[in-house]
């Protein structure tokens, strides 16, 4: 990187700048109660139609169980933040002779924190490998020891 570029970047301040991390403008809601025996595309279309009155539907995710190949009992619908309240009002509504349960499923600020916690713990240890050689045998031993 050119030296003048480095000086410029080092002098930047984010105070009051729009480069700061903003709150998400997207909301996520979980929906249960639809017919899981239908094809995925049919459920996706039905959910889009059912929630169309709420505003812009950004994305509908109808997951499939990897083991059985059937639809999971919940779907995730992504809407604009300002449309979330309208979507939540559809809780208890009928879709295809089934009653939907709808609830907010917010994003968590540190949603990967639980994923990385075990890694933090693992870094506290180190693996020591030892080869034990006797007259008639060679053994390979691995041991965990706490880092100091």
Q: How confident is the model at residue 2 (pLDDT cuts 50, 70, 90)?
A: very low
Q: What Cα–Cα distance (Å) separates residue 13 from each residue in 7, 9, 23, 37, 67?
A: 12, 9, 20, 55, 50
Residue range(s) defining the domain that contains residue 93: 26-104
Please check whether residue 45 lies inside any domain of the structure. yes
pTM greater than 0.85 (yes/no): no
Mean pLDDT lowest among 20-24, 40-44, 98-102: 20-24
Q: Please tell me the distance from the alpha carbon of residue 69 to that of residue 52, in angstroms, as a whole number.
A: 28
Please check whether residue 136 lies inside any domain of the structure. no
Q: Please tell me the distance from the alpha carbon of residue 146 to that of residue 77, in angstroms, as a whole number.
A: 45
Average pLDDT, the chain: 78
Please check whether residue 96 lies inside any domain of the structure. yes
CA triple 122-127-132, angle to 5 deg: 160
Q: How confident is the model at residue 107 (pLDDT cuts 50, 70, 90)?
A: confident
Number of domains in the chain: 1
pLDDT in the model for residue 25: 86
């Amino acid at each position: 990187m050119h030296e003048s570029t480095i000086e410029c970047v080092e002098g930047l301040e984010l105070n009051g700048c729009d480069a700061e991390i903003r709150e998400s403008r997207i909301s996520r809601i979980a929906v249960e109660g639809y017919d899981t025996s239908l094809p995925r595309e049919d459920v996706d279309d039905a959910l889009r139609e059912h929630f169309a009155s709420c505003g812009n539907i950004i994305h509908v995710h109808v997951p499939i169980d990897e083991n059985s190949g059937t639809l999971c009992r919940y779907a995730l619908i992504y809407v604009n933040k300002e449309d979330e309240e309208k979507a939540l009002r559809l809780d208890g509504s009928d879709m295809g002779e089934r009653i939907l349960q709808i609830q907010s499923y917010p994003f968590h600020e540190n949603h990967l924190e639980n994923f990385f916690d075990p890694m933090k713990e693992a870094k506290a240890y180190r693996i020591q490998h030892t080869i034990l050689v006797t007259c008639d045998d060679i053994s390979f031993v691995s041991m965990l020891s706490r880092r100091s």
